Amino acid sequence: MAQEKSLWYCLLMETDFEWDPIKNALNRQKHHVSFEEAQYAFVDTQRIIAKDIKHSLSETRYYCFGYVNGGIMTVRFTYRKNKIRIFGAGYWQKGKKIYEEAYRLHP
The most confident of 18-32, 34-48, 53-67, by mean pLDDT: 18-32
Q: How does pLDDT run across 75-102, given as a tens digit for each residue? A: 999 988 889 999 999 999 888 888 888 8
β-strand pairing of 61-68 with 71-80: antiparallel
pTM for the model: 0.81
Q: How does pLDDT run across 51-67, given as a tens digit for each residue? A: 988 866 788 999 999 99
